[in-house]
A and B are shown apart, each in its own frame.
Chain A
Amino acid sequence: MHQDLAARTAYVITGQAADAQDAVQEALVKAYRALGRFREGAAFRPWLLRIVANEAISRRRSAHRQVNLALRAAEGRLPGDAVPSPEGAALEQEQRREVAAAMGRLRPEERLVIAYRYWFELSEAEMAQALGCARGTVKSRLSRALGKLRGILVEGQAGWGEGKQVTLDA
């Protein structure tokens, strides 16, 4: 359902359930109104996502920068789990949580490009449409965002200070 993806996109940008909901609602109404500009036969999903993202980002800009995406509580280690070692599984899980938490420190646009690719698994063509840029630009934006994310993770390892700007290269 497109509405679910729209909701997730809005949440990834705003990090606030209420803002995300407002953004999606407004975006659906706008999408409906803007149908005249939607070419029949064009991909609908990225078209809708673009409207959702714009709505969500405009809501973000007035709010403060960093978001804290809600993370699932670590699942308990089950006996007979298929993973080789419970410790290894816990570490992997910790890493995933760390990565997801680091996402919250990116700029909304950077978070969005990574989320489209790795969380929502959009194709490159869809990403280009959803981001309103050329396909070549998708690659460079993604790579820049990944570089920034890596920088945040590295900084986190060293224990970054509050509000510190991370400017590491990829």
Chain B
Amino acid sequence: MRSDWRALSDEELGRLLGESARAVAYPEMPDLAGLVARRIREEAAVPRAAGRGWAALRDLFRPVARPVLRPAWAKAAVTVAVIVALLSATLALSPSARRAVAGWLGLRGVKIEITPTPAPRPTASPTLGTGLQLGDRVTLAEAQMRVPFRILIPAELGSPDEVYVRTGFVADQVILLYRARPGLPKAYFTGAGLLLTEFQARIDRQFIEKKLIYEGSSLETVKVNGDPGYWISGNPHVVAYLDRNGNQIQDQTRLAGNVLLWQHGDVTFRIEADTTKGRALRIAASAR
């Protein structure tokens, strides 16, 4: 005997549907986290447009220079490396959002520490940095209390318009945001004039110089008050931090443009701005 389906109300049909949920034998699906994580890592490392594997890409690299490494550089437990790559706009993600989503997706294969996304400050009005997901908006004094090194401010620019602390990375980062002004045009992606990121980490020079060159970008070694650094211009690029286990944690520059990266003591500084090398170097040299 069958029920008369025609006479079944939506509610009854709904109830039967609810119960029928158990009748479906969903296939076992393998945990895709590993596969997905690997694809993401590969895609982040190699621009999709290029459509080449790592091996093919490596062949494109030509070592720029083979500098003699100073022990301080070589022994770094935490190293910073920069990969220049064509970067699709969709890759310009905030690491905090990416971490959070890696957690949601169950991408345990991505070796990134998962931290809860900080709740937005209720009183904070919309700012450039919150839109860019730079981390917690703080005052300069608060930021200074949260990092073990002394935050340097470029005298050339004065006090930053906004200050952020981004946690959960290899090292907590302080990000100083300067709004666009004469000489610092509004960057296409961020709307900001300049971002200065400071964090306790070292630059892996060998890594950078071996793997950095990619079409559309150029790398130049520079000095900032005698400290070693790099001027990277051209296409946006991905920045990868290597932790002590050699896991790569990727970050990206937020501006379609130029980056000045340098290290002073055990602190790495990164300026991202749509500006000239000369101006960036002047700003960097004025940091104190």
Contacts and interface: CB of A to CB of B under 8 A. Distances in A.
A135 interface: no
B106 A41 contact: no
A119 to B, nearest CB: 4
12 contacts: A11-B26, A11-B27, A21-B32, A29-B39, A35-B101, A36-B90, A48-B104, A69-B24, A71-B25, A99-B20, A149-B13, A154-B5
Given A119-B18, A157-B5, 11 more contacts: A1-B106, A29-B40, A31-B105, A40-B117, A96-B20, A99-B20, A100-B24, A119-B17, A150-B8, A153-B5, A156-B5
Interface size range on B against A: 35 or more
Given A32-B98, A71-B25, A95 B105 contact: no
A25 B36 contact: yes
A97 B29 contact: no
A2 B104 contact: yes
Nearest to B88: A33
Contacts of A117: 14, 17
A117 B10 CA distance: 13
Contacts of B13: 99, 146, 149-150
A64 interface: no
B22 interface: yes
A138 B92 CA distance: 33
B278 interface: no
B5 A150 contact: yes
A29 B26 CA distance: 22
> Most A CB atoms within 10 A — which of B92, B93, B120?
B93
Interface string B1-45: 111111010100110111111111111011111011001100100
Interface in A65-124: 69-72, 91-93, 95-97, 99-100, 103, 114, 117-121
A100 B23 contact: yes
B36 A70 contact: no
Nearest to A104: B24
Nearest to A168: B6
A25 B24 contact: no
Contacts of B6: 150, 154
Contact of A96 (B23, B39, B101): B23
A125 interface: no
Interface of B: 1-6, 8, 10, 13-14, 16-27, 29-33, 35-36, 39-40, 43, 88-94, 97-98, 101-102, 104-107, 117, 120, 133
Contacts of A7: 26, 29
A44 interface: yes
Contacts of B43: 29, 33
A24 interface: yes
B19 A32 contact: no
A128 interface: no
A32 B33 CA distance: 12
Nearest to A10: B29
Nearest to B31: A3
Nearest to B17: A118
Closest 4 CB pairs of A and B: A17-B27, A118-B17, A153-B5, A96-B20
Given A33-B43, A35-B93, A97 B19 contact: no
Given A11-B27, A20-B27, A38-B101, A33 B90 contact: yes
A153 B6 CA distance: 8
Nearest to A97: B23
Contact of B93 (A24, A36, A93): A36
A34 interface: yes
Contacts of B30: 21
A24 B79 CA distance: 34
> Most B CB atoms within 10 A — which of A12, A35, A41, A121?
A35
Contacts of A118: 14, 17-18, 20-21
Contact of B25 (A70, A114, A143): A70
Contacts of B117: 40
Given A28-B32, A29-B40, A118-B18, A3 B105 contact: yes
A34 B90 contact: yes
A8 interface: yes
Contact of B10 (A92, A146, A153): A146
A29 B94 CA distance: 16
